[in-house]
Amino acid sequence: MGGIWAPRPSTGPHKLRESIPVIVLLRNKLKYALTRHEVQIIVMNRLVKIDQKVRTDMNFPTGFMDVITLDKTGENFRLLNDTKGRFSLTKINEKEAGFKLCRVKKLMWGNKTSVGKNPFHSGRGASVPFVVTHDGRTLRYPDPLIRVNDTVKVDLSNNTIVGHLKFDSGSIVMLTGGHNQGRVGTVVHRERHPGSFDIVTVRDSEGHQFATRLSNVFVIGDTKAWVQLPKHKGIRVSIMEEREQRIAQN
């Protein structure tokens, strides 16, 4: 949507231009409401959960990999990107709705104070390791093998790390930005450019090869994807191929 009447996402875990408000999901995508007022009734009745937390703000921002749960209909969706760069709601089962994948953006050590210790002491011996993910989560005491650009599997019921994926050659990735947004492939190699953007080359299952910035790469699997992929499984088709597929369906 566009124009001055389009709903603006509230401040939240995702960036303004990388999120979509709940009202657009319920009214424009899922067609569960016809008007803004109907969406307001739905969310104020506490019927919408984002990452297993009830959200009553209809402008709450949902972003990449978020899980939307509607208990009344028994449906669960994961918000991903299609190969045209648009947000796509992918229907998932109850088991898959219990976790989400998060990209590690920072790996840091924080201050830890307790009784009997100097509260102004911030040495390595009194600090807590933690990671910050793409959706604003702070997860303490991660696995020592986890590094920036890796992906962690987060259990949404208790907000803990239950697994992780290393960013390496051969990993299955989905691109979250750039011209190739929404495409899925395997990492071929990474070019390091100190002082500039590292470039990652990716090859999809059809043999098409393309390159993008490292910041656009999101690891979603090792030998196979850990999440349900949207339509076309992240393979971009040409205009003529898409036309032929539509004719075949009709």
Looking at the chain, the domain(s) classified CATH 3.10.290.10 span 16-98
- Separation of alpha carbons 161 and 102, rounded Å: 10
The whole-chain average pLDDT of the chain stands at 90
For residue range 89-106, what is the model confidence (pLDDT) as tens digits?
999 999 999 999 999 999
For residue range 58-97, what is the model confidence (pLDDT) as tens digits?
999 999 999 999 999 999 999 999 999 899 999 999 999 9
Question: Has residue 134 got a pLDDT over 80?
Answer: yes
For residue range 188-240, what is the model confidence (pLDDT) as tens digits?
999 999 999 999 999 998 889 999 999 999 999 998 999 999 888 888 888 89
CATH of domain 100-165: 2.40.50.740
User: Would you tell me how many other CB atoms lie within 10 Å of the CB of residue 236?
Assistant: 19
Question: Has residue 115 got a pLDDT over 50?
Answer: no
Identify the pLDDT of residue 92: 94
Query: For residue 193, what are the CA distances in angstroms to 55, 75, 177, 199, 209?
Result: 42, 44, 19, 8, 20
CATH of domain 172-234: 2.30.30.30
When pLDDT is cut at 50, 70 and 90, the band that residue 126 belongs to is: low
Residue linked to tokens 């921002």 = 61
When pLDDT is cut at 50, 70 and 90, the band that residue 2 belongs to is: confident
Identify the pLDDT of residue 191: 94
Q: Which residue has the higher pLDDT, 31 or 120?
A: 31
Identify the pLDDT of residue 242: 87
Identify the pLDDT of residue 111: 77
Question: Has residue 121 got a pLDDT over 90?
Answer: no
Order of strands, edge to edge, in the sheet holding 75-81? 53-54, 48-50, 67-70, 75-81, 87-92
For residue range 9-54, what is the model confidence (pLDDT) as tens digits?
999 999 999 999 999 999 999 999 999 999 999 999 999 999 999 9
Task: Provide the 3-class DSSP secondary structure of residue 214.
Answer: helix
CATH of domain 16-98: 3.10.290.10
Looking at the chain, the domain(s) classified CATH 2.30.30.30 span 172-234
